[in-house]
Amino acid sequence: MEIKRFFVSKDAVKGDIITITGDEHVHLSNVLRFRVGYKLIVCDNSGNDYHCIVKSINSKSTICLIESVEKNETEHNIKIILLYGLTKAEKYEIGIQKAVELGVSKIIPYVSQNTSEKTFKQSRLERIVLEACKQCGRAILPEVLSPLPFNEAVELAEGLKIIPYEKEKENTFITVLKDLQKYDTVSLAIGSEGGFTPQEVEYAKSKGFNSVTLGKRILRAETAVITGLANISLFMED
């Protein structure tokens, strides 16, 4: 049987005991119907996998005994920040899910001039992040910020900064990422469904962003997320 993964806060770990409460406890006990003696992996955002066995389950919590601790090896050695313009909810959720699978560390949603979608459900996206981390075996949950205006989101970018732009004809990911190992962080800005205005790209450039082409075709936002992050991953030395 597949060993399931659960997330708790750091204060849930006391010595060799972990107490699972809240939604994770409900999912474990009511949905997955765990029983005493079941094996599981618990994560507390420290980067460790706690291999545990269920000792007891009651209506409010699951008590687990830690049998071993291993460092989780799924995180990139370079932090990835994704600036992601809001799109229609279903498509945005796909982009978020794939970003987590591809190793993003922080997600900064933003609203730009061409953004038509204003709906943002923080709790829904955090649940998608959680489930994606479980699916791909990560031990650290990426942070999801509340939406910001584009200019403010740009200010939060760090390290090597990249902005794919359909009017860029010269710079590619290869030319920009060749020096990636000099940085401890890379920031990728992906436009919303309406794309970036020339003024927004110029503003991003003034803040250190490098514009790059993603090819001859205009991609959907969620496809651009996958393409951009996949390119970055190719240059990682993990």
pLDDT tens, position by position, for the chain (238 residues)? 579 999 999 999 999 999 999 999 999 999 999 999 999 999 999 999 999 999 999 999 999 999 999 999 999 999 999 999 999 999 999 999 999 999 999 999 999 988 877 778 899 999 999 999 999 999 999 999 999 999 999 999 999 999 998 888 888 888 899 889 899 999 999 998 788 899 999 999 999 999 998 878 878 889 999 999 999 998 886 5
**pLDDT tens across 127-182, in order?**
999 999 999 999 999 999 999 999 999 999 999 999 998 888 888 888 899 889 89
Q: Rounded to whole angstroms, what are the CA distances from 109 to 36, 157, 202? A: 41, 12, 20
DSSP label at 184? S
In contact, 118 and 86? CB cutoff 8 Å: yes
- Closest to 7 in 3D by CA, of 50, 39, 37, 38: 50
In contact, 191 and 150? CB cutoff 8 Å: no
pTM summary value: 0.91
Mean pLDDT across the chain: 93
* CATH dotted code for 79-234: 3.40.1280.10
Structural domain spans, the chain: 5-71, 79-234
- Closest to 141 in 3D by CA, of 31, 235, 61, 24: 24
Give me the residues paired with residue 17 across strands. 14, 65
* CATH dotted code for 5-71: 2.40.240.20
Q: Whole-angstrom Cα distance, residue 80 to residue 61?
A: 34
Helix or strand (DSSP H, E) at 69: strand 62-71
